[in-house]
Structure 1
Amino acid sequence: MNRFYSFLFVFLWLLNFSNPQAQPLLEARQAFQSGHYAQAISQWKKVLATTQNTNHRLEAWFGMARSYRWLGNYKHTFKILETALPVAKKNLTYHAILLNELSKLRLTQGNKWYEEALEIGEQAMSIARKTNNPLLLAEILKHWGNLLTTDYNYEEAIEVYREALAYSSETIAPMAPFSEAEMATLSGKILISQAQAIFFSEKYESHQDKKFAFKETIGTLEQAIVATKNWHSTYDQAFALFSLTQLVQKIQVQLTQPSAQLTNIANQALRKSLKIAERLDNTVAKSYANGYLGQLYEQAKRYEEALFLTRQALFFAQPNQSKRLLYLWQWQLGRIKKNMGDNEGAIKNYQQAIKYLAPIRSQAMTGYFNFMTNFREQVAPVYFELADLLLQQIETHGLQQVETHGRASLLSRDKLLHHAIEVIEDFKEAELQNYFQSDCIDIKTECADLKRILDTKTAILYPIMLPERLELLLYRDDGLVQVTLPIGEKTLHKKIVSFLSRLRHHPNPEELARNRSMLAADGKESNKEVCTPSLRGSNPQKITRASQTFLKPSQTLYNWLIKPLVPHLQGIETLVIVPDGALRTIPFAALHDGQQFLIQNYALAVSPSLCFNESHILQSRENRENKVLLNGLSESVQGFSSLPCAKYEIEVIQTLYSQLQTTLLNKTFTTSNVHHKVKQVPYSILHIASHGQFKGNLEDTFILTYDSKLNMDQLEGLISNMTVQDKTVDLLALSACETAVGDDRAALGLAGVALKAGVKSAFASLWKIDDEATPAVVIEFYRQLQNHKVSKAKALQYAQKLMLTHDSYVRYRHPYYWSAFLLIGDWF
């Protein structure tokens, strides 16, 4: 933009405010810049009520939309932008700004709106390029860079930020509806966003010297700090500084030793933000500034100063009753007090933090910067730190009670332990709700007393992974056993990755290729030969040496997770495991004691929760009416490969259930046909042999039908139609489905499918096993279920043990073939 047009733009912009009717706009702008959003909205409403000036009305709409977005009122934000759209379309600049604001809204609302945010952002950028307005392009490119960063496209994002910086330096003329102060800070905000993208790109690079790895990030942060020296005092600027300091904290966590350079950058930013907050007299900004300064002192282990600043932050949070602020600073107080040795005080603060966090957990994950961390990384620490403290209290407070109060120690211990478990269960429920994007999942509904559920032959293993140790809780009908091991969460996670890295791969890739060639043409006689386990299984296969490397980590995990409890597992036949985090990704059946696999000693089941529905479990197996709806897809559809052995699997199960089954295969296996069938007959078993996947994002989780993809909500609808007269569906079997490799959040979805769908049990696999091998376990599992005296857990155990011991299944000895199958939910 040349000087003449720049001058003309400023002149016209100022001319708008020479009108007396523009006074409310000025007052609204001042309130907005001070962070008083409710007051700003009130002023902008006056503008809309008193003027028909198009520019004034657009400015009011944009201001209200931005204010509502800051307040978290996304419904109002969208409504206002939708109202302004027809007017904004008449002007390229305003149209681009509106679309950019709408894209920001969708990005703020979370992952499920990302695609729409991307599409709208692209439209905004396309229009902005036609305006030839450098500041507009800089603002929109900054947001486009944020979108790219969210999608892990760091290299392109960094280039976009560089382009935005070039445009932002061309002029400092204001651009309605943004103020001169906002435009003056644009370069600094772009630099902060750029530093975030560089940080994530450098984080995944391999460097022995971590400080060197973040050299470019730190250099960009220093440029941003320099850029802030000329900033005016606005609420938005204070938050840009808070964002900068939070990035500094993320880098510090990655370093083996804290960086004095980074500490200095954070200190400068927070001191400046505190001055801005005090000048604006904004209690929210004061709360953040004091709280983050307290965090800085906490990391420096200057706990007295950290305690004072954090209490100041809490004081300034009170008038606004911001749950996010109250949660952050209560949690921080808990950490500080814990480090000062005041565990009882810390526990109270942690409890308060969780109380404030509960209603805002979904909001805690919004915004593009939080896309980089999953729900567990963002939310879990406060829950597990409290559980850790409660478990530590058992060792200290409980033992002291033994000396003075005798039996009271047992009550104190049980109470603390129950509280710790309750905290972890609360988190698990929150995590499932977050994954399934529903607050309706309640894993504690109708929970029963474990003592009434457990018989003398069943035990429940509840492992708790903590940063510095592993707690193993074993519930038996005669009491609880607790074992503590000095194995931290990171150490355990590393061993799990090592265990899975070979176990999930076919033990003979060359033979896999040959089998696929034999299965290439549907209907050929060779398909039956390949798919029939009894015909193929007795032929030994050569397995690679690499495929045996799972054994060592398998034995290590056995020694950590099972061996310490073996003396207490005498007489136990069924072991129910309630895994968490990375433990959800491992097949416990394949853990090895040096002589045998775990499945050879115990029938195994997995539960997402320690809470069980008594009415499900105590139902007599003899009264089961096993009416089965069999669904299968052996043909190649929608770009997915064929599954010829799915047809064989369905045909064999048909013979097992004779008159008690209905079959939908290939073209008849459509979503509408399944819905129609479940409305006609109250099936107790729903079997699906088709492609399916569970991933970290619910949007990518589905089961393939002939004509579409069945998502979790649709599956839940199917199950609801099958539930008649309070009789819950007994079993949902998903054959050929898989979870994303090593993704514990995807495994969470798999573990939670029984809860989400509303069935008693789910039978599924952690990974997609070769098509020829799947029937080997699935068919034997169903064959065992014909005996009503056999539990589902024992039916699966028998099928898996058969792969290890029977001569007909020699080729399936490797746990790749049989260990991935899980029974999730009720084990009866």
Structure 2
Amino acid sequence: MPSRYRKFRVRRFLVVIFFSSLTFFLWLNHVTFTTFQARWGEIATAQSPNASLLVQQGIEQYRAGDIQQAIASWQTALSAYQNTNNHNNAAIVREKLAIAYQQLGQFEEAINYWKEAIANYRSSAEFVKVGQLLTELAQTYSRLGQNKEAIALLCGASETDEYCLNSVGSALQIAQKFSDRQGEVAALGSLGEAYRFKGKYDLAIQTLEYSLKIAQENNLSVYRSSAFNSLGNAYFSKAQLNEQRVDSAKLRGADTKTNEFIKEATYDYKKALGYFNNSLELTRFSNDLLSQMRTLLNLIQLYYHPKVLNLADNNNQAEQVLQSALAGLEKLPNSSNKVYIAIDLAEIEQFVPSINSTSFQAQCLPRKLNDSQAEELLQKAVLIAQSIKDSRSESFALGKLGHLYECRKDYNKALDFTKQARLAGDQKLRAKDSLYLWEWQAGRIFKAQAKESEAIAAYERAIATLEGNGGIRDNLLIAERDLQFRFRDTISPLYREFARLKLERAESLPIASLEYQKELDSALDAIDSLKLAELQNYFGNDCVFAVFDQKRVDDLEREDTAIFSSIILEDRTAIVVSLPNQEKKQKVKPNAERRLKKLAWIKDSKEFRKEIKNFRLEIQKFYDPTDAFLTSAQNLYNRIIRPFADDLDQAKIKTIVFIQDGFLRSVPMAALHDGQEFLVQKYAIATTPGLHLTFPKPQNFQDLWMLALGLTEAVTVDGEKFKALENVADEVNQATKLFPGSKKLFNKQFTDEGLKQELKQANYPIIHIATHGQFGTIPEDSFLVTGNNKKITITQLESDIRRFSGGSEPMELLVLTACQTGVGDDRATLGMAGITVQAGVRSALASLWYVDDDFTKELVVKFYENLRSQMSKAEALKEAQKALINQNKKIHPAQWAPFILIGNWL
């Protein structure tokens, strides 16, 4: 169940994704601007009186919260300095403009001004300032989720972004060279934050601890409180990751790992609490109210997290911190900071264990403050934003008021506030991070009012805002690693709610109508876009996934192929099937659509999920003589396949390609049973990640070669024992014999470095890896066991393939045997699918659970023999599985069903 803490973090992130000195603390801005006025006085005599007056006027406007007017004043002053070639003063004004634009969330403008100011300072050999502004620029990139660029500016980019190169000209190198301790601490602090956002928590902690050490040695008290706060966030993020690892380990049945991760999470929470308290003590001592508020908000998140409440009786402390934050809010001067803090406090939720919801944005959970208190805070936030003329923060405050009334079911007021929020967010600011929320909110309200057309239009605008030119979806997916786990709260519900609207509209139309087909197409396109987002979210990086073809796979000219797409909604599941149009084929209706789509519903998604999980559990019982799995296998066939059985027969379908959603990804579809035979005995079967993420193209395997890697010895990795795979040597030897020119690596030769070296030296169309593998909820728990008691993570593997296997053609086939996924873990197979998409591999063959390596050898070798006889990949797998079934009629499907083909099935 999503925790209240997670939802609070999601909301807070969405409110401040492009603005916040609270969560993404600026290590230099507060110091830079505080010293600006004094520094300005030193050089004021060297400038024109008018420009000087404008700069001073801008300072006063900025401090009063009127950022737009400050920008106008500074831009006029900048023009004057440019006309007189006063580069030094121009650089200082550009610096302030960058800070102001950051406050407004206009980061493209901020980046341009940072770069121009850096160029000015570099030309005048003010290298200390160059280093400091490189740190500022890096922080801006981090806010946009572009942490790779941030790390490059701070210390130089390595291939993996894991180690600081301290490159010449980087912020850290400049600070160290010129003994700028303040700049060094700021660069290290920003670097630690960038590592945290990338999910490199241990590296973040190591870097931040070093930053803290230098700050303490040089008595830099402001930076000490920042370092404590950042360390608290790093440990909190690490604790969240370990919680996810607990869930993943439970699904795999790894009890030892489960207990280990629980202990680590508990330790991390305690460390986070200690660091936040240290930060609070320092900020109170220095009377730094804004930093106090930042730390108090972090403590509120910590105290109201249910797992932390289990550590000790924190109820009293939590209430004290909340009251301190409310009191502190009153003391803050009016500013955009104050607006966002008020919104955060109004939105704190009461943790209710019995309540579960699929979407933070649509849910109406009890608040920690009562309704009238929350409304008062939000109204106050609106007034403050209006008084300082900050349309951006005004947009969020109005939008949250709209949500408050939405929860009260006062839809007219809700819509009025939502429209105001949308207008404020669109006012010169292009604030897409708020606009998509309010379009989404408007869509929900219209739907509640039974205004279907208006609802659909609003959802379409929300998705277009996310995905269009300059959209923000990618930033939402990768900006902060610990938000990857909140994906179902931030992005997924929007797409699923829109798909539901389109499917329901299709239901009301005649099946033969063109409008029916268009509505189903629209729903499929939305979910396809969501699938790509899920993959990007799972891997959590800024890699551009390979879209193999602009054509949809369900529109390709394959007369013998049907495409089954599933769409899981909260209460039911849609199955949409794309079939060849027989009337078009027979030229009865020459203008008819080439493919026809049909819709069937599976009622009660919760019960369906239970049935799927039961099927996975039953079918994995290798030696169950009762064949208990058959009941579930037949029930699932009746739910998924039978509604379309006649259509499949009439169209003479030979291959079924599944584009699965959620928990359906872990279903071995080959083992569904119609009462007479398994599905694979009648159809070749494949799965593909999405409509556009596969390029179906036949390949001649007779002239190809492979790199085969195998593990035959028992090993221990991270305390977990893996038994010897006795038949792997035979499997690899027989496979490589079929492909002349192949190479094989066993045991100690089979390492991450060995794989890299081979990929550097030669381009292998096929890679075969026979070893233990695990696919978990998160990439860290998705790995393959290598020689020397080591492992290679799935992200390392795809990175190596992508970097070293180059060439104009993608790798044709990756085969992973002896892998397993957790029962009920619907995210685990994203790791498998991600290999084909992120690394650009056309097809992958992998197993959903571990199979006796003797059966694996037989199946895989037969699969390769079939490929060489010019069968399609899907047909080759089908015949290999049928061969095992025919060879031994009593063979349990657990031995052949888990092998799934992902990607190009031809």
Per the shorter chain, which TM-score range?
0.7 to 0.9
Q: Tell me, in whole angstroms, the C-alpha distance in 2 between the residues paired with 1:452 and 1:162.
A: 56
Contact 2:154–2:187 under 8 Å retained in 1: no
Structure 1 counterpart of 2:799, one-letter code? D
- What amino acid is aligned across from residue 640 of structure 2 in structure 1? L
Where 1:576 maps in the other structure, the secondary structure is: strand
- Map 1:433-472 onto structure 2 (within 5 A): 433-435=536-538, 437=541, 440-443=544-547, 445-447=549-551, 450=554, 453-456=557-560, 458-472=561-575
Aligned to 2:798: 712
Letter in 2 for 1:731: L
Instruction: Specify which of 310, 313, 329 is matched with residue 418 of structure 2.
Output: 310
3-state SS of 2:549 partner = coil
- Say whether the 8 Å CA contact 1:761–1:823 is kept in structure 2: yes
Which residues of 2 match residues 201-600 of structure 1 at below 5 A? 201-202=306-307, 221=322, 224-248=325-349, 254=356, 258-259=365-366, 262-264=369-371, 266-318=374-426, 319-358=428-467, 359-365=471-477, 371=483, 373-396=485-508, 398=509, 410-435=513-538, 437=541, 440-443=544-547, 445-447=549-551, 450=554, 453-456=557-560, 458-478=561-581, 480-485=596-601, 487-501=603-617, 503=619, 507=622, 543=624, 553-570=632-649, 571-593=652-674, 596-600=677-681
CA positional deviation for 1:261: 5.0
Q: Give CA-to-partner distance per residue, 1:349-400, whole Å, 9 cap, x none.
A: 222212221232221135559526344542222222222212222233x35x
Amino acid across the alignment from 1:467: E
List per-residue Cα deviations over 1:619-654 (Å, max 9, x = no partner). Answer: 6xxx54253325132344985554332101122334
SS in 2 for 1:248: coil
Give 1:63 deviation, angstroms.
7.2
SS at match of 1:321: coil
| CA-based RMSD | 4.7
Give the % identical residues.
Answer: 27
How is 1:527-676 mapped onto 2 (pairs within 5 angstroms)? 543=624, 553-570=632-649, 571-593=652-674, 596-611=677-692, 616-617=697-698, 624-636=701-713, 641=722, 642-655=724-737, 657=738, 659=740, 661-666=742-747
> Cα deviations across residues 531-554 of structure 1 (Å, max 9, x unaligned)?
xxxxxxxxxxx5599xx7656555
Partner-residue secondary structure (3-state), 1:301:
coil
Q: Does 1:827 align with 2:905?
A: yes
Any idea what SS the aligned residue of 1:461 has?
A: strand
Deviation at 1:681, TM superposition (A): 8.2
Change in Cα spacing, 1:424 to 1:543, as seen in structure 2 (3 Å) is closer
Deviation at 1:492, TM superposition (A): 3.7
Asked whether the equivalents of residues 712 and 725 of structure 2 are also in contact (C-alpha less than 8 Å), the reply is yes
1:816 maps to 2:903:
no
Q: Is the 8 A contact 1:27 1:43 kept in 2?
A: no
TM superposition shift of 1:347: 1.8
**Paired amino acid for 1:239:** Y
Matched residue type, 1:361: R
Helix, strand or coil at the partner of 1:689: strand
Deviations 1:210-257 (A, max 9, x none): xx9999878864553344233332322322333444543997974898
Question: Which amino acid in structure 1 is aligned with residue 895 of structure 2?
Answer: Y
SS at match of 1:652: helix
Q: CA deviation at 1:301?
A: 1.7
More divergent stretch after superposition (273-282 vs 40-49): 40-49
Contact 1:463 1:578 in 2 (8 A): yes
| 1:747-826 equivalent positions in 2, closer than 5 A | 747-788=829-870, 790-807=871-888, 810=890, 813-826=891-904
* Secondary structure, aligned partner of 2:727: helix
For the structure 1 residues 767 and 201, does the alpha-carbon distance in structure 2 shift closer, same or farther, using more than 3 Å as the test? farther
Aligned-pair distance for 1:577? 0.9
Query: Who is 1:190 aligned against?
Result: 295
Q: Deviation of residue 126 (structure 1)?
A: 3.9
The 8 Å contact of residues 709 and 770 in structure 2, kept in 1 or not, is answered as: yes
- Cα distance change on mapping 1:20 and 1:393 into 2, 3 Å: same
When structure 1 is superposed on structure 2, of 52-61 and 217-226 the one drifting more is: 52-61
Partner of 2:209: 122
1:646–1:771 CA contact under 8 A, matched in 2:
yes
CA shift, 1:501, in A, is 4.6
Return closer, same or farther for 1:32/1:394 CA change in 2, 3 Å cut-off. Answer: farther
Cα deviation, 1:574-608, whole Å, max 9, x if unaligned, reads 32211122221222223345665433443321111
1:259 partner letter: P
Please give the alpha-carbon distance, in whole angstroms, between the structure 1 residues aligned to 2:397 and 2:817: 53
Deviation track 1:147-175 (CA, whole Å, cap 9, x = no partner) reads 12212256456545654565566576786
Where do residues 54-203 of structure 1 align in structure 2 (5 Å cutoff)? 75=149, 79=153, 82-83=170-171, 87=175, 96=185, 98-108=187-197, 110-111=198-199, 113-128=200-215, 137-152=224-239, 155-156=266-267, 159-160=270-271, 162-163=273-274, 166-167=277-278, 183-202=288-307
Deviation at 1:706, TM superposition (A): 5.3
Q: Which runs of 5+ in 1 are unaligned?
A: 1-9, 207-211, 403-408, 508-541
* 1:775-807 CA-partner distances (Å, limit 9, x unpaired): 24223323444543x443233233334444533
* 1:290 Cα deviation after fit: 0.8
Cα 1:155–1:203 shift into 2, 3 Å: closer
Cα gap change, 1:685 to 1:235, in 2 (>3 Å) = same
Give distance in 2, aligned partners of 1:80 and 1:720. Answer: 29
Q: Against the structure 1 CA distance between its residues 257 and 754, is the aligned structure 2 distance closer, same or farther, given a 3 Å change threshold? A: closer
User: Aligned partners of 2:552, 2:175: CA distance in 1, in Å?
Assistant: 60
Residues 1:239 and 1:637: Cα distance change in structure 2 (over 3 Å): farther
Q: Distance in 2 between matches of 1:278 and 1:670?
A: 61
Structure-to-structure mapping, 1:16-31, within 5 angstroms: 17=38, 20-21=41-42, 31=62
**8 Å contact 1:218–1:262 — kept in the other structure?**
no
Q: 1:103 corresponds to which letter in structure 2?
A: G
What SS does the aligned partner of 1:616 have? Answer: coil
Q: CA separation in 1, counterparts of 2:131 and 2:57?
A: 14
Number of aligned residue pairs: give it.
744
Displacement of 1:98 in angstroms is: 4.8
Q: 1:240 is matched by which residue type in structure 2?
A: I
Which secondary structure state, in structure 2, belongs to the residue aligned with residue 819 of structure 1? coil
Q: Which is further off, 602-611 or 148-157?
A: 148-157
Aligned partners of 1:471 and 1:482 also within 8 Å:
no
Given that 1:202 and 1:213 are in contact with CA atoms closer than 8 Å, whether structure 2 keeps it comes out as: no
1:454-504 C-alpha deviation (Å, 9 max, x unpaired): 334x32211111223211112222353533325354444444344435655
